[in-house]
Amino acid sequence: MSIPSTKAIAIETRRRRPEPASTNRIDNWSGYRPFVVKQRVRESETISSFYLARDDGQPLPSFKPGQHVTFRLELPGRAEPLLRSYTLSDKPDPLHYRVTVKREPGTNRTPPGLGSNYFHAQVGAGTRLWMSAPSGGFHLDPEELSPVALISAGVGVTPMISMLDAIAVGGTRRPVWFIHGARNGREHAMGALVRRLVREHDNVHAHICYSRPTDSDRRGRHYDTVGHVDGALLQRLLPHARFDFYLCGPGRFIEGLRDALLDWGVDAQRIRSEHFGAASAPDDIPTPDASVTESVGKRPVQVHFKRSGVVVRWEPGTASLLDLAEKRGLVPDSACRVGICQICTRRLVQGEVAYAPTPASMPEPGFILPCCTRPISDVVVDL
């Protein structure tokens, strides 16, 4: 089996895409700081929210609605810390950050989610956790006043709640449509909050779809229509296509809506999206081939993270360039960790890397996805 690789020479080239998402970091602290869980709230049968404050009680810096934080989790029986990113699901508040986590039980194709099951089984009021500063390029622009459509499925609702609440309390008259799809009321999180914001703000509109409502779900109270969120529904609900669209959910959900919006005539620059995690990935997500995984990154080489000024030796057995960076205390933006979301995209300044697994879509020439790459030679990465 051939191994996809990419090369770069040590010559500065003109950028062909916006600066990577790490430039959207709020520069309030580096690395990880201790936080304490102040409250845990059950949002549905599978989703819970965790309210966190600094352990020294100091006020928290703001963030852009839609951004995420990364936790360094010490799991019993695990030698290395587990790093997991979760979106902040609340409007900025100096007293707390809130993350909302869905417990991923696993399927016949994927194991249970280590991070999510740890949160649901072990984390409660008083738990001390180490967390990075808010970061990420998928966020609402608070300066914009154009109409906005926040469209999500499943636990993809979390950044949309942050965006919706920020718009509602911001005092602007910005028109906003909140459109969400869930299986039923047992899995639907934060529905009551959305309904309240609709009642209190006449510029806020919402539409909820249940694909499999239960006997206890009430149409008009818990949901609006039976089915899935798709392009036809958006064209029925929205008065025109001149919205800023934010999409969050599984891969196929994102891809289908993006295609539908482009067919409707929406400018691609007005569509922003974020895939949510390996558990939300498309069914055809690439999985590592054992022979490929074993053959890549088998000899020590030098890795230079140029922007951070860190030079480190790559040793065989390291999972990826992203994993290597995190072990050295760096906190690059990342989410899916399997080459789907492309949040971790960085410029390869020099050297050669190989992909294992092959990502769902390759980045532009001169850029790499550190989450699923290993160095073949000495490399310089703009991270």
Per residue in 67-111, pLDDT tens? Answer: 989 898 988 888 778 878 899 999 999 999 999 999 988 766 667
Task: Mark the ranges of the chain whose per-residue pLDDT is less than 70.
Answer: 1-28, 107-110, 277-298, 335-336, 340-342, 360-361
Residue-wise pLDDT tens digits, 190-232:
999 999 999 999 999 999 999 999 999 999 999 999 999 999 9
Strand boundaries in the chain, DSSP class E? 5-8, 33-42, 47-54, 68-73, 82-87, 97-102, 128-131, 148-153, 176-182, 204-210, 225-226, 244-249, 271-275, 301-305, 310-314, 346-355, 367-368, 373-375, 379-381
Shared domain for 12 and 35, answered yes or no, is no
- Give, in order, the Cα–Cα distances in Å from 248 to each of 98, 142, 275, 303: 18, 18, 6, 33
Shared domain for 186 and 233, answered yes or no, is yes
Shared domain for 353 and 312, answered yes or no, is yes
Shared domain for 276 and 290, answered yes or no, is no
Shared domain for 168 and 225, answered yes or no, is yes
What Rg, from alpha-carbon coordinates, does the chain have? 21
Asked whether residue 143 is domain-assigned, the answer is: no
Conformational region of residue 197, where left means phi above 0, alpha means psi within -120 to 50, and beta covers everything else: alpha
Range of the domain at 343: 5-19+286-381
Shared domain for 271 and 160, answered yes or no, is yes
Asked whether residue 24 is domain-assigned, the answer is: no
CATH of the domain at 240: 3.40.50.80
> Which residues neighbour 214 within 8 Å (Cβ) at sequence distance 6 or greater?
184, 185, 186
CATH of the domain at 84: 2.40.30.10
Classify burial at 371, counting beta carbons within 10 Å of its beta carbon; exposed 0-12, middle 13-18, buried 19 or more. buried
Q: Cα–Cα distance between 346 and 154 in angstroms, integer?
A: 29
Shared domain for 126 and 156, answered yes or no, is no
Asked whether residue 15 is domain-assigned, the answer is: yes
Say how many residues make up the chain: 383
Shared domain for 114 and 84, answered yes or no, is yes
Shared domain for 254 and 335, answered yes or no, is no
* Helix 157-170 × helix 191-200 angle, to 10°: 20
